[in-house]
Amino acid sequence: MNALKRIVITWLATARGGAEKSSFELCQSIRRRYHTEVALVLWHYGEAFDFSSLGRGAESEVIHCYDGDEYRRRLADALAVSSASTALFSNHRAFQVDLHLASRRGVKCAVLFRQTPLADGAFRTLPSPASSELVYRRGAELDWGALQRATALIGLSDFGARGIASFAPQHPRVVRIYNGPSMPGENIAITPRPVRRFLIVSRLISWKAIDFGITAFSHLQRRYPDVHLQIAGDGEEEPRLRQLVNDLGLSKQVAFLGFRDDIQRVYQSNDCLLHLSGIESFGRVVIEATNHGLPAVVPQSAGTGELVINGHTGLTFRPDDLADCVRALECAYHLSGADYIRLGATARRRAQALFNSDRLAEEYVGLANSMLVS
């Protein structure tokens, strides 16, 4: 048996978002708790992103790559260091390249799905070990033969793990490891404003269902004209969403904030998070909001449905049910200050117990150790 000396984590970044934050946090959590050597091989796909705010204070090695050839070369070099004592955690975008290089170096490799494979939904992935261009693939179109060679397949939630297992029923090791977003040290309790402020934090892309949330908010605003909504994030859907806001006559009630590095301040200036996607693998913004004292309104499905207990840590609605979403928003609007504090405190205690960075590091290091003896 080889003792674990090094963990290599990869990610193919197409934006500055939750997956990028989670990749950095995973490295930092492992390094902080176990002092294991950790390297993050990060492919900037399409453009050079500024991740300086995510890497502050990190002792992990971050290897930035800007095209496919550089990524393959730098990852091969990273895997050549103590290869018999190294565990590689790949991802659903780059697994073709990573599994190929890991096999050549004799390194055990697990694949983390930051999005859940679905029969009727597609995500971007590299179609072959030699490819440098992402393509869309539905769950059944992924190369499950290649994925069978992975030591383990990882989902971010029970929903995610079930999605993987539905396409890889013969794989011997499909596991669930929840994210562990960093939490502020102090306990935060908000006092909701007399004029309620709702918040969406998300990439502005179609499957995040921001248009559904804006439409639901418009129904709430007709009943309570003083309510406001802020949308933090950027993405290809922004022009269409701005047009929808104008068409609904909400230009004074809805503000687009763009991508924000100071997202903590944004949380603190709002009262309740609205998260819409019914196919989210995890939904880290729900935990981020919880850590800043905000209750969340989420669909009772997919990964986010595992994060919120209706009436105890937030409010839920039936997925794709506009009337039920409006009902949940109205319930949130009428919550008393004491109810906000109660929901926020209960949600934070649950997040500290289930979704913390120490637990995250423990599960990944435990899996890495077991990979070396499999």
pLDDT of residue 341: 84
**H/E segment holding residue 174:** strand 174-176
- Put simply, whether the predicted model's pTM sits higher than 0.95 gets the answer no
> Which tokens belong to 93?
């975008």
**Domain boundaries in the chain?**
6-180+356-373, 197-354
pLDDT of residue 352: 87
Query: Is 6-180+356-373 assigned to CATH 3.40.50.2000?
Result: yes
pLDDT of residue 95: 98
For helices 357-373 and 18-34, the axis angle rounded to 10 degrees is 80
Block residue for tokens 């639901």? 216
Q: What CATH number matches the domain at 197-354, 3.10.20.30, 3.40.50.2000, 3.90.1580.10, 3.20.20.70? A: 3.40.50.2000
> Which tokens belong to 298?
């989420």
Using CA atoms, how far apart are residues 332 and 269, in angstroms rounded to an integer? 16
Using CA atoms, how far apart are residues 298 and 307, in angstroms rounded to an integer? 9
> Which tokens belong to 263?
């997202």
Q: Does the fold of domain 197-354 match that of domain 6-180+356-373?
A: yes
> Which tokens belong to 183?
């939490």
279 neighbors 114 (Cβ within 8 angstroms): no
DSSP codes of every residue in 330-356: HHHHH--HHHHHHHHHHHHHHHHHHS-
Q: Name the burial class of residue 123, with classes exposed (0-12), middle (13-18) and buried (19+) by CB atoms within 10 angstroms of its CB.
A: buried
Half-sphere exposure of 365 (CA within 13 A, CB side): 23
Residue type at position 68: G
Residue pLDDT tens, the chain, 374 long: 579 999 999 999 998 888 999 999 999 999 989 989 999 999 999 888 888 777 655 577 999 999 999 999 999 999 999 999 999 999 999 999 999 999 999 999 999 999 999 999 999 999 999 999 999 999 999 999 999 999 999 999 999 999 999 999 999 999 999 998 876 655 565 667 777 899 999 999 999 999 999 999 999 999 999 999 999 999 999 999 999 999 999 999 999 999 998 898 999 899 999 999 999 999 999 999 988 888 899 999 999 999 999 999 999 999 999 999 999 999 999 998 889 888 888 988 898 889 989 999 999 999 999 999 97
Q: Are strands 37-44 and 61-65 parallel, antiparallel or unpaired?
A: parallel
Using CA atoms, how far apart are residues 29 and 358, in angstroms rounded to an integer? 7
The dihedrals phi and psi of 133, each to the nearest 5 degrees, come to: -120, 125
